[in-house]
């Protein structure tokens, strides 16, 4: 079977993870890259270990009839225009998160997605494919902690001048907010695990006094309280100005027990010690290095859905739209200093 040809747009940190993952799938291969830095084909081949077409503009990529998928790995602020252009050129699209930095651009992308119903779109919430989150979903599906009424997911990842992306992600029109700059992974995971639409959010934000984080143009630390339509409540902390190892925290509380990261307490299984957590051996989402993230299973699912003409599982644009909409409500809440109902963002 002919493999799908992929063009990776942008040659920053995450591009390498995309190239490795696509080339490891059963039905896709990266055949082209695009970078405004204009690297030579020899440089690109030496870096990524395979010969690739090298383009200097997105227009050149979109004019290439051999390209089936465009994978957008550029800076956040240009995701919307590149996504819309790729869809209108008839390409399937993978968009790294955040897909947009404001609600208006998010709606413009949705319009382009709706206008091109035959094209598949996948969004970079790849942690939905990690072993830890899959384990949590399995526990919930089996009812081992009963009906969940409270959940929290937190993202702690110090992002400072030691990251190449910091030159633009520190800016209000680049990183956007603590949630958009990384906390969106925790926010998205919690929405999936809670399984109900968000009704209202309240968010507070602040910033560290550490000199290494002083260049942030927005508050790089926030906490959001979420009220869900069915009565559940939740909390998301997003802290990218912390001085500590990377930590992705999750705690779910239900009518038959609780889950704390990779530890389980439940009355649904006989013989467990009630006064002790039971540790479940899994691969934790404990690294901020994108090369450790589960891009391979996500991109395998993405390319499968293109070939089989089926909906994108777990990380469709429709799912990501609701996550981003709730994040924009949270950021608006922090700005206004009051709760924001989801009905205010339609």
Task: Find the mean pLDDT for residues 291-317.
Answer: 97
Task: Find the mean pLDDT for residues 78-84.
Answer: 98
| 142-168 confidence digits (pLDDT tens) | 999 999 999 999 999 999 999 989 999
3-state helix/strand/coil string of the chain: CCCEEEEEECCCHHHHHHHHHHHHCCCEEEEEEECCCCCCHHHHHHHHCCCCEEECCHHHHHCCCCCCEEEECCCHHHHHHHHHHHHHCCCEEEECCCCCCCHHHHHHHHHHHHHCCCCCEEECCHHHHCHHHHHHHHHHHCCCCCCEEEEEEEEECCCCCCCCCHHHHCCCCCCCCCHHHHHHHHHHHHHHHHCCCEEEEEEEEECCCCHHHCCCCCCCEEEEEEEECCCCEEEEEEECCCCCCCEEEEEEEECCEEEECCEEEECCCCCCCCCCCEECCCCCCCCCCHHHCCHHHHHHHHHHHHHHCCCCCCCEHHHHHHHHHHHHHHHHHHHHCCCEEHHHCC
The CATH 3.30.360.10 domain(s) of the chain lie at: 128-292+323-344
Query: What's the CATH code, domain 128-292+323-344?
Result: 3.30.360.10
Q: Is residue 324 over pLDDT 80?
A: yes
Mean predicted lDDT score pLDDT of the chain = 97
Q: Is residue 1 over pLDDT 80?
A: no
Provide the pLDDT for residue 323.
Answer: 98
* Banded pLDDT at 50 (limits 50, 70, 90): confident
Q: Is residue 38 over pLDDT 90?
A: no
| 157-212 confidence digits (pLDDT tens) | 999 999 989 999 999 999 999 999 999 999 999 999 999 999 999 999 999 999 99
Task: Find the mean pLDDT for residues 218-237.
Answer: 98
Provide the pLDDT for residue 205.
Answer: 98
Task: Find the mean pLDDT for residues 69-84.
Answer: 97
Task: Find the mean pLDDT for residues 75-87.
Answer: 97
Provide the pLDDT for residue 245.
Answer: 97
Percent of the chain with pLDDT over 70: 100
CATH 3.40.50.720, domain 4-127+295-316, yes or no: yes
Range with lowest mean pLDDT among 47-51, 60-64, 114-118, 261-265:
47-51
Task: Find the mean pLDDT for residues 241-260.
Answer: 98
Full-model pTM: 0.97
Provide the pLDDT for residue 54.
Answer: 96
Q: Is residue 13 over pLDDT 90?
A: no
Task: Find the mean pLDDT for residues 234-258.
Answer: 98
Task: Find the mean pLDDT for residues 121-137.
Answer: 97
The CATH 3.40.50.720 domain(s) of the chain lie at: 4-127+295-316
């Amino acid at each position: 079977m002919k493999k799908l040809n992929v063009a990776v747009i942008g040659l920053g940190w995450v591009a390498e993870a995309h190239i490795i993952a696509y080339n490891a799938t059963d039905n896709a291969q990266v055949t082209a890259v695009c970078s405004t830095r204009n690297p030579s084909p020899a440089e690109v081949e030496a870096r990524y270990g395979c010969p690739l077409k090298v383009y200097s503009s997105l227009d050149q990529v979109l004019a290439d009839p051999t390209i089936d998928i465009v994978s957008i790995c550029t800076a956040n602020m240009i995701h919307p225009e590149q996504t819309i252009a790729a869809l209108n050129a008839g390409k399937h699209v993978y968009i790294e998160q955040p897909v947009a930095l404001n609600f208006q651009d998010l709606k413009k992308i949705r319009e382009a997605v709706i206008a091109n119903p035959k094209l598949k779109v996948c969004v970079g919430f790849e942690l939905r494919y990690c072993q830890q989150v899959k384990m949590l979903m399995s526990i919930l599906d089996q009812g081992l902690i009963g009906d969940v009424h409270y959940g929290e997911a937190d993202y702690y990842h110090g992002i400072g001048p030691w990251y190449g992306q910091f030159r633009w992600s520190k800016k209000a029109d680049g990183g956007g907010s603590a949630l958009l700059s990384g906390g969106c992974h925790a926010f998205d995971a919690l929405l999936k695990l809670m399984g109900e639409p968000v009704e209202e959010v309240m968010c507070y934000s602040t910033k560290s006094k550490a000199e290494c984080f002083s260049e942030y143009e927005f508050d790089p630390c926030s906490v959001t309280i979420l009220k869900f339509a069915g009565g559940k409540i939740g909390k998301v902390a997003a802290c990218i100005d912390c001085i500590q190892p990377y930590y992705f925290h999750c705690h779910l509380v239900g009518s038959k027990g609780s889950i704390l990261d990779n530890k389980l307490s439940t009355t649904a299984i006989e013989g467990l010690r009630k006064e002790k957590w039971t540790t479940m051996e899994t691969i934790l989402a404990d690294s901020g290095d994108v090369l450790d993230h589960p891009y391979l299973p996500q991109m395998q699912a993405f390319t499968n859905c293109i070939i089989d003409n089926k909906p994108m599982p777990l990380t469709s644009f429709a799912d990501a739209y609701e996550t981003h909409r709730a994040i924009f409500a949270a950021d608006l809440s922090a700005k206004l200093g009051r709760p924001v109902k989801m009905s205010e963002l339609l």
